[in-house]
Structure 1
């Protein structure tokens, strides 16, 4: 199974349509089975997409509205594979009134779902409001849950990571008897001891990067970006976890200018896993 996670920084990028085309070309080349994307945005005032034009869209939240410029919807129009997909909004972003959310694409049908707030804040107009999105599908003849999240920072004074992670664990507890993959932007640096990464690793989770037989340096942020202003070092903050030991053939940074074009302020992570 081939997985990709990417914080898309959607509609905040220059030359956004060109970069969506570059991302589509990379996905078409790599033929991913699963894609999780964070910061998947749409303009709140854009035209609504009719239900019959949504393709293999899976409704996780019946109140969700997909608009014409929804980043995932625009991307899907350029993909060779007719992916099953879903998207939920999490909070409003920027003065442009963007709906910012989480999207999951899968080659195989989506059969169940779960989502919920992991932040104490549930104010849609506050950018610190956070959710996770989980969907069930089938891979290699067995059910698999795919979880997508975009978390806050370890030392955030309003929404610290630890309480968000504890809430995510509570939401996922009923599903832990099945294989779960948790993909996303966790905003916690793997190389910093005693903070978010170590806290996650004390739980049931297994980092596919450390388990991989073949891997690179794993760094997905290499400059100053939104949320990491003034950063001058390489950071590994985007991950693909499994809730049990799995055999990982490889883990590589994607969309970094070497392995695919740069399409976001984050690079992506791609992993090949045997299940």
Structure 2
């Protein structure tokens, strides 16, 4: 067992008698070290029949420390002629990654929960919040919160300390002790958990229009104040993450091109993407006048379940027959937009002519985001000049009212290359996909001080990026490669990258 790799936060064993026949629900919430992207987490458990089962857990949320995650496992059972309820349960937690296996089995004794006992806290917990990185629905203004305490903790007062601005200001909301708190289908008929060594306290938090709320719990006894701040990372409540997709479309050079444009639209819908940045957007040349009906960004947008707002522009003639450009599609309102050359060349017949589009997007609960869709030249063909022009433009646009600035797209520089190091050395923009999927490598490259190490990028062949301006009110919490052989299939000579962002 290694409690650093997997730790029980709390478990529930509940029986509801509202239905006929009765049902029993088991649920387990655990904290798991993020040792690798590929991992398996499960609960080994046995009921009163002494038969052991394996219950798979699923990812719930990334913890605020960035190095661990919350995972949840649940199972329900119905009493019938052929099956009894599990009743009393023994269990242990297992985490498998990097060809290793880690257990939390209560120091070799396994955990035990009586039937219908309510909540069981992990051994390292005296109190715990019921909302671990919970999501605030769009438009939701308040949320009910509970905290469970051990009866051995003689609480006189429990208070929620919370902030919407990363503790620049703070507020307090009291919890109230509820002797019979359970008030939903599963919990309303459970026996009073206070009889089983625990107390449940309740409060309602006014979320207003906040994108993200951090909170800590203070429990006052006669002798001291005991804090639960989620191991120093704070608990969080936040709106659904902002999802940004980048993809180079390969300028209509694909076989089955029309089908692939439909597939891209389907993925945007199914993945609930908020902002899409496209490169090598094609429309027929038509003597330089273009042909809007053939524009691939327009076609994708029209095939969405509900079309987004769209801005696009072109820079040069591509593949001898297309106006080649870039585009931004946004689910949220675009307050204003602009297109600008970032290259010295402005000849539409030169491949070195590069133009970028910018959209200022109003994201609910977050504010204004400046998003740039870019397709820059290779290092030997003017990348440094173009990136500097783009960076200065973005700096001018990043006013006090802007929450974040994102430079997105195909930058034609491999991770770790001379061009990539040029971006790192600017000390202004960070690689968000790297931050989300390889935090250790990210920290070795984007160091606040000291020389960066690029050893972790030796096998990283990316040339497509989302660079986030430092100090922005966003952080990448997950990253995913799409449109490859394993995820929606190939639609271009580039993969797509989907990043999810939350407030910092």
- TM-score norm. by structure 2 comes to 0.45
Residue 129 of structure 1 corresponds to which residue in structure 2? 353
Residue 212 of structure 2 corresponds to which residue in structure 1? none
**Larger-gyration structure (1/2):** 2
1:208-246: CA deviations, max 9, x gaps?
A: 12221678x9xxxxxxxxxxxxxxx86111001111253
Unpaired stretches in structure 1, ≥5 consecutive residues? 47-63, 218-232
Preserved contact between residue 248 and residue 272 of structure 1 (Cα < 8 Å): yes
Residue 201 of structure 1 corresponds to which residue in structure 2? 424
1:147-168: CA deviations, max 9, x gaps?
A: 1100111123xxx211111111
Which of structure 1's runs of 4+ aligned residues deviate more than 3 A?
none
Preserved contact between residue 405 and residue 468 of structure 2 (Cα < 8 Å): yes
Residue 332 of structure 2 corresponds to which residue in structure 1? 108
Partner SS for 1:132: strand
Residue 148 of structure 2 corresponds to which residue in structure 1? none
Compare relative contact order (CA 8 Å, sep 6+) and give the higher one, 1 or 2: 1
Residue 23 of structure 1 corresponds to which residue in structure 2? 264
Partner SS for 1:68: helix
Preserved contact between residue 244 and residue 499 of structure 2 (Cα < 8 Å): yes
Alignment equivalent of 1:173, drawn from 395, 414, 417 = 395
Q: Closer, same or farther in 2 for the Cα pair 1:248/1:183, shift >3 Å?
A: same
Preserved contact between residue 415 and residue 460 of structure 2 (Cα < 8 Å): no
Residue 145 of structure 1 corresponds to which residue in structure 2? 370
Report the CA distance between 1:66 and its aligned residue.
Answer: 5.4
Unpaired stretches in structure 2, ≥5 consecutive residues? 1-241, 442-458
Structure (1/2) with the larger strand percentage: 2
1:7-58: CA deviations, max 9, x gaps?
A: 0013111110111111112111101000000000000239xxxxxxxxxxxx
Alignment of 1:43-58 (within 5 A): 43-45=284-286
Partner SS for 1:264: coil
Preserved contact between residue 301 and residue 329 of structure 2 (Cα < 8 Å): no
Alignment equivalent of 2:463, drawn from 237, 240, 247 = 237
1:182-208: CA deviations, max 9, x gaps?
A: 11000001132xx11111122210111
Preserved contact between residue 372 and residue 408 of structure 2 (Cα < 8 Å): yes
Alignment of 1:207-218 (within 5 A): 207-212=431-436
1:11 aligns with 2:252: yes
Equivalences, count: 237
CA distance in 1, matches of 2:416, 2:422: 12
Partner SS for 2:379: coil
- TM-score norm. by structure 1 comes to 0.80
Preserved contact between residue 394 and residue 405 of structure 2 (Cα < 8 Å): no
CA distance in 2, matches of 1:66, 1:84: 19
